[in-house]
Amino acid sequence: SQTIHQWPATLVQPVGSPLSLECTVEGTSNPNLYWYRQAAGRGLQLLFYSVGIGQISSEVPQNLSASRPQDRQFILSSKKLLLSDSGFYLCAWSRLPPIAGPSYEQYFGPGTRLTVT
């Protein structure tokens, strides 16, 4: 079965410090990978998605960047955090086209709660 891991679970960082959040998926290959942010009391905002190693698409201009150094590893980074970067960050994966599965749902990790002080 497939599992998705995220770490750290909780992070408190000062403004201006760097950030690195990691997400790994087990039990599948060539997944699509996604980073979402959820602000308090709000829905999910897609930040980045990746359809393969080194292939990153950004949905919104921001202070963050993403990388996919390995097939099942997705990293969210920032060189200098802003107060507005606080939130709950969720990583997700999905299968490739229908030949690999019948549906397009995404499976989410447990999330990272980031507080920028």
Partner 1 sequence: AQTVTQSQPEMSVQEAETVTLSCTYDTSESDYYLFWYKQPPSRQMILVIRQEAYKQQNATENRFSVNFQKAAKSFSLKISDSQLGDAAMYFCAYAYSGAGSYQLTFGKGTKLSVIP
**Binding residues for partner 1 (CB under 8 A):** 32, 34, 38, 42-44, 46, 49, 51, 57, 88, 90, 92, 94, 97, 103-111, 113
CA torsion angle 25 30 31 33 (round to 10) = 80
What is the C-alpha to C-alpha distance for residues 86 and 41, in angstroms, rounded to an integer? Answer: 13
Q: Which of 111, 116, 64 is nearest to 86 (CA)?
A: 116
Nearer to partner 1, 16 or 101 (CB): 101
What is the C-alpha to C-alpha distance for residues 13 and 103, in angstroms, rounded to an integer? Answer: 38
> To the nearest whole angstrom, how small is the minimum distance from the Cβ of residue 88 to partner 1?
6
Nearer to partner 1, 14 or 54 (CB): 54
> To the nearest whole angstrom, how small is the minimum distance from the Cβ of residue 32 to partner 1?
6
> To the nearest whole angstrom, how small is the minimum distance from the Cβ of residue 20 to partner 1?
21
